Amino acid sequence: MFEITINDKKLNGDDSMTILDAAEMSGIKIPTLCFLKGFTPLGACRVCVVEVEGANTLTAACSTPLRADMVIKTHSPRVQRARQSVLELLLSEHEGDCKFCSRSDDCELQALALELGLEAPRFEGEKNHLKTDSSTAALVRDPEKCIKCRRCVAVCSQRQGVGALFPQYRGFATTIGPAFHSDLDSVTCVQCGQCVAVCPVEAISEKSHIADVLRALEDPEKHVIVQTAPAIRAALGECFGYPPGVLVTGKMTAALRRIGFNKVFDTNFSADLTIMEEGSELLQRLRTVLEEGKSAALPQFSSCSPGWINFTEHFFPEYIPNLSTCKSPQQMFGALAKTYYAQKSGIDPDKIVVVSVMPCTAKKFEAARDEMCDSGFRDVDYVLTTRELGKLIRLQGIDFTSLPDEEMDVPMGLSSGAADIFANSGGVMEAAIRTVYELTTGKELPTENLHITPLAGLDGIKEASLRIEGTKSPWNFLEGVELKVAVAHGLGNAAALLEDIKAGKRNYHFVEIMTCPGGCIGGGGQPRFTTDEVREKRIAAIYSEDEGKPLRKSHENPAITEIYAEFLGEPLGEKSHHLLHTQYTRKE
Amino acid sequence: MTSTPALHQNSAEQQELLHNIVDSLKDQEGALIPILQAAQDSLGFLSTESLKTISKLLNMPYSEISGVVSFYSYFTTMPRGRYTIRVCLGTACYVRGGKQLLEELKKILQIEVGETTEDKLFSLEVGRCFGACGLAPVLMINDEIHQRVKPTKLAALLAPYKSENDSEATDESPKISQEDAQ
Ligand code: SF4
Ligand code: SF4
Ligand code: SF4
Ligand code: FES
């Protein structure tokens, strides 16, 4: 502990802190651009420079540790001029027109120009002419807008363990992207969109489906229905100025009606269905091993996160048999919308357009997979991210904040609280255990408030175990079994967990993996900017949505009972097998 | 500046060679660069297949490896001709006519820097100072240095390489199929 001076104010600090940390503690905002909390600072952009007494040159605040007796000026005229010049140089190489840019509502570069008081451009820089890359289903890269901050590199390789993006070439010709100047589809990218979530500018974005959705809505022949993932309701408000963690389920429903969707349904409905199918699948695997003494792939891995599916297919194909064969809730919904719902409502499935609103870019990729046509049609037609829905609402002139709360439509809008928590890391596991425990013992899960606390929160790898006692027939083979489960989020954590399982260091019956840090609430399609504080608020909001529901367990949802009685038969039955389950392919 | 590496297919022996190179070097600190050097030395150039093989064996992302390959001008991802001509464009050579030499070579060979002639005889590169500034302008053909070269003498300078190739039946440079030249 030593003393430093920052803008004439004395402060105690130590050398584990950077100048940026010290400024934050004293309520001073130093502008940053390349800096990304939680990653080693690169000191690449120099926007954060400050003056340190005794030093000849200006110092990058994000990457410089405090030293005893440092005297720091964060906003001296010299500093301000330097920051302006840095930004002017960046802008002079930046090929973009804010008026026509999808990021003009949340662009960090533009915001910085405003904050630093830039007026007219002083330099006209040489520009790298590079083509836009639309090679993948979910993402668009516009390298001409890239400011080379390398946040995407850090996130893709360190957090996700994928490594699709790296600096290529050298000097002025440097680009940040896939190998050489190739397109993203020529390297392994799991389409998670975590790069999109951290990119400060419009250099990587989701491939927009807004225009397609508008065209469908305009077509009088089409019956356009929408499903929203649980994570949307805890984040959409942020697009309209609400603080993170405010639930806007009712307003979101009202907005979707006003946009013109014929039915407003819920991915939660098919999340409940997923629990029935995936829980039954787990019990079947356990029976094969424990009762029949045969072998089955355990642990079973959850399969609702399409980035994780891509990751397994590319990096851990030996674990494909462990993946639950259940489609994700989005795809179960699509397959049922064009069969069950079409039949029930007497509408020609060919005329039904299914739109989903997802916190995720990989869902766009998933919806476009060849095999996702089990209804006889493309099961899900278009996927909007939370951010795109925010734009669509604004585009339609809807004043979101003054909307009343409305309820979703039946039957595919009914759900339990267990479905809500699919949005949080640990939630799918908790939802599954609520149902599996009760089905096998006839008793409610005996934990406080039905939660499994060790599985909640932002730790990268979490585990829990639960002894099953008092089983009823035909589940007696589970009597006294210690059910061991684990949860990981962020693919880097998933890979670490898998390596441990492979090495025999850990073993489980069931493992939940979500691609994005924090789970879907931290998805690549969520409003920017998602920090850990924001994640925690969204997580808390989701748990309170669950707790406020009259039904908290998937098997209690009457719409689920109805669909099995009227249409599907039983979990893992023939129809389920055809519509709700899928298979995976090893990829290079 | 290179774009996507050649889609050359390695023979079984070449793949084995690559495996051996990676195996023998992979445990050292910063193994990637020595591996790339050794691979280029024995295979002539780094094709997509070679790079992807290295990526898999090292368990290192392809984009990361390409970042290193594209950073150093030493690495080449295109098949080379039998003779690599490097024209020095260091300061001394530049002011004493290196640039004109390069332009003339482009004309004679009908290729740009980084490319290889259709007959696979010559590749053209630029270099930065071979340490022979007193003899500027300088160019190198494989390991041989040629000094005080004049643009007008270039054709004569290249002639022996062409005829030497005609008379020699053996070819120790890697076999390159027609498609690789793109
Ligand atoms: S990326 Fe930002 S600065 Fe660039 S054009 Fe778009 S809004 Fe403007
Ligand atoms: S989408 Fe995910 S895997 Fe693909 S480049 Fe971005 S961060 Fe990497
Ligand atoms: S793509 Fe975006 S995040 Fe990546 S380096 Fe460029 S500007 Fe930064
Ligand atoms: S934010 Fe500190 S150098 Fe970029």
A121 Cα–ligand 1 center, Å: 14
CATH T-level assignment (fold) for domain A221-269+330-402: Rossmann fold (3.40.50)
A243 contacts A401 by C-beta, under 8 angstroms: no
Boundary-marking domain end, from B71, B92, B122:
B71
A542, burial (CB in 10 Å: exposed 0-12, middle 13-18, buried 19+): buried
B60 and B87 share a domain? no
Contact in structure between A127 and A97 (CB atoms under 8 Å): no
Q: What's the predicted TM-score (pTM) here?
A: 0.90
In this structure, are residues A395 and A211 in contact, taking their beta carbons and an 8 Å threshold? no
- Side chain identity at residue A234, one-letter code: A
Query: Pocket around ligand 1: residues whose beta carbon is below 6 Å from it?
Result: A 94, 96-98, 101, 103-104, 107, 109-110, 145, 201-202
Query: Positive or negative, the Cα torsion across A524, A526, A529, A533?
Result: negative
**pLDDT score, position A124:** 76
Cβ–Cβ < 8 Å for A62, A32: yes
Residue B66 with chain A: CB contacts under 8 Å: 166, 168, 179-180
Same domain, B103 and B152: yes
What's the CATH number where B114 sits? Answer: 3.40.30.10
Q: Which CATH number fits domain A128-207: 3.30.70.20, 1.25.40.10, 3.40.50.720, 1.10.3720.10?
A: 3.30.70.20
Cβ neighbors of A512 (< 8 A, separation 6 or more) are: A301, A302, A425, A426, A428, A429, A432, A455, A485, A486, A487, A488
Compute, in angstroms, the gap from residue A147 CA to the centroid of ligand 3. 6
What are the residue ranges of CATH 3.30.70.20 in chain A? 128-207
Does the beta carbon of A157 lie under 8 angstroms from any beta carbon of chain B? Answer: yes
User: Do B65 and B120 belong together in one domain?
Assistant: no
Residues of B within 8 A of A164 (CB-CB) are 61, 63
Comma-separated ranges of CATH 3.40.50.1780 domains in chain A:
221-269+330-402
CA A536 to centroid of ligand 2, rounded, Å: 23
Do residue B18 and residue B49 come from a single domain? Answer: yes
Q: Which residues of B112-136 are buried (b: 16+ CB within 10 A; e: fewer)?
A: eebbbbeebebbbbbbeebebeebb
Question: What is the number of domains present in chain B?
Answer: 2
Q: What's the pLDDT band for B2 if we cut at 50, 70, 90?
A: very low
Is residue A529 reached through a cis peptide bond, with omega within 30 degrees of 0 on the bond before it?
yes
Query: Is B1 a domain residue?
Result: no
Q: Name the class of domain A275-326+415-580.
A: alpha beta
Residues A478 and A453: beta-carbon distance below 8 Å:
no
A63 among known catalytic residues: no
* Gap between the Cα atoms of A227 and A328, Å rounded: 13
φ, ψ (nearest 5 deg) of residue A523: -65, 160
Residue A197, ligand 4, Cβ within 6 A: no
Q: Return the residue in A148, A168, A499 with the most chain B beta carbons within 10 A, the one to mutate for interface testing.
A: A168
Domain-located, residue B6: no
Q: Report how far ligand 3's centroid is from the alpha carbon of A154 (Å).
A: 10
Residue nearest to atom 3 of ligand 4 (CA): A43
Identify the H or E element spanning A462: strand A461-467
A99 is catalytic: no
| Other Cβ atoms within 10 Å of A39 Cβ, number | 16
> The domain at A2-90 falls in which architecture?
Roll (3.10)
CA of A21 to the centre of ligand 4 (A): 13
> Residue B178's pLDDT is what?
36
Same domain as B96, residue B64: no
Atom of ligand 2 nearest to the CA of A184: 5
Count chain A–chain B contacts defined by CB atoms under 8 A: 51
- Pick the catalytic residue from A51, A278, A313, A388: A278
Residues B60 and B105 in one domain: no
Instruction: Indicate which atom in ligand 1 lies nearest the CA of residue A108.
Output: 2
The whole-number pLDDT of residue A522 equals: 98
- Residue A5, beta-bridge partner list: A10, A71
Point out the residue among B2, B3, B67 whose CB comes nearest to the CB of A166.
B67
Assembly ipTM: 0.88
Phi, psi of A173 (to 5 degrees): -75, -5
A164 and B65 within 8 Å at the Cβ level: the answer is no
Looking at the DSSP assignment, which residues form a beta bridge with residue A300?
A: A510
Q: What is the pLDDT of residue B1?
A: 43
| Chain A interface disruption, residue of B63, B72, B128, most A CBs within 10 A | B63
Q: What is the mean pLDDT of each run of 10 residues along chain A (588 residues)?
A: 94 94 95 95 94 95 96 96 94 91 95 90 78 96 95 97 96 92 94 98 98 98 98 98 97 98 98 98 97 96 98 97 98 98 97 98 98 97 98 97 97 95 98 97 95 96 96 95 97 98 96 98 97 98 97 97 96 97 93
Residues of chain A with CATH 3.40.950.10: 275-326+415-580
DSSP 8-state assignment for residue A215: H
Secondary structure letter of residue B78 according to DSSP: S
The answer to whether residue B77 is domain-embedded is no
Task: Establish if A540 touches chain B: CB-CB under 8 angstroms.
Answer: no
- Give residue B118's pLDDT: 87
Q: What is the pLDDT of residue B29?
A: 87
Predicted pLDDT of residue B167: 53
Can you tell me which atom of ligand 3 is nearest the CA of A141? 1
Phi and psi, residue A347, nearest 5°: -105, 140
Structure tokens at A173: 């010709």
Give me A245's structure tokens.
């963690």
Count the neighbouring beta carbons within 10 Å of the beta carbon of residue A212: 15
pLDDT band at B171 (very low <50, low <70, confident <90, very high): very low
Residue B182's pLDDT band, with cuts at 50, 70 and 90, is: very low
Domain contains B76: no
Ligand 4: which of A33, A40, A87, A153 to mutate, most ligand atoms within 8 Å of CB?
A: A33
Roughly how many angstroms between the first and final C-alpha of chain A, as a whole number?
52
**Rounded to whole angstroms, how far apart are CA atoms A228 and A56?**
56
Residues B131, B101, single domain; the answer is yes
Query: Binning pLDDT at 50, 70 and 90, where does residue B166 land?
Result: low
Catalytic residue among A263, A327, A338, A363: A363
Other Cβ atoms closer than 10 A to A549:
16
State whether B46 and B102 are in the same domain. no
What is the maximal distance between C-alpha atoms in chain B? 51
Question: Does ligand 4 have an atom closer than 6 angstroms to the CB of A189?
Answer: no
Would the pLDDT of B177 be above 50? no
Q: Per 3-state DSSP, what percentage of chain A is helix, strand, and coil (rounded to 5)?
A: 40, 15, 45
CA-CA distance, A81 to A72, in Å (whole number)?
16
Instruction: Specify the amino acid at residue A563.
Output: I
Residue partners of A150: CB distance under 8 A and separation at least 6: A34, A42, A44, A167, A176
Contacts (Cβ under 8 Å, ≥6 apart) of A38: A532
Tell me what pLDDT residue A476 has: 95
Residues with Cβ within 8 Å of residue A208, at least 6 apart in sequence: A102, A388
Q: Find where tokens 């940053």 sit.
A: A32
To the nearest whole Å, the CA of B56 is away from the closest chain A CA by 10
- What is the rounded distance in angstroms from the CA atom of residue A341 to the CA atom of residue A345? 6
pLDDT per residue as tens digits for the range B45-82 = 899 999 999 999 999 999 999 999 999 878 888 888 88
| Pocket flag, ligand 2, residue A189 (CB < 6 Å) | yes
Q: Whose CA is nearest to atom 3 of ligand 3?
A: A199
Choose among A170, A173, A187: nearest Cβ to B62.
Answer: A187
CA–CA separation, A204 and A207 (whole Å):
9
Could you tell me the residue range of the domain that residue B33 belongs to?
A: 12-71
Residues B115 and B169 in one domain: yes
Which chain B residues touch A169 with a CB distance below 8 Å?
Answer: 1, 70-71
Say which of A107, A199, A304, A326 is annotated catalytic: A304
Tokens for A325, please give them: 């064969």
Ligand 2 contact, A90 CB (< 6 A): no
- Domain identity same for B89 and B173: yes
Residues B64, B101 within the same domain: no
Q: CB-CB: which of A157, A167, A180 is closest to B61?
A: A157
Residue B2 lies in a domain: no
Q: CA-CA distance, A368 to B156, in Å (whole number)?
A: 61
pLDDT at A122: 75
Is the Cβ pair A180, B71 closer than 8 Å? no
CATH 3.10.20.740 domain residues, chain A: 2-90
Instruction: Evaluate if residue B121 carries a pLDDT over 70.
Output: yes
SS3 A444: coil
| Start-to-end C-alpha separation, chain B | 15
Return the closest-CA partner of residue A389 out of A574, A239, A543, A551: A239
Using an 8 Å Cβ cutoff, are A73 and A55 in contact? no
Cross-chain CB nearest to A180 (options B2, B61, B64): B2
User: Closest to B70 (Cβ–Cβ): which among A157, A162, A168?
Assistant: A168
* Burial letters A28-38, b for 16+ CB under 10 A, else e: bebbbbbbbee
Same domain, B89 and B165: yes
* Alpha carbons A188 and A405: distance in angstroms, whole number: 43
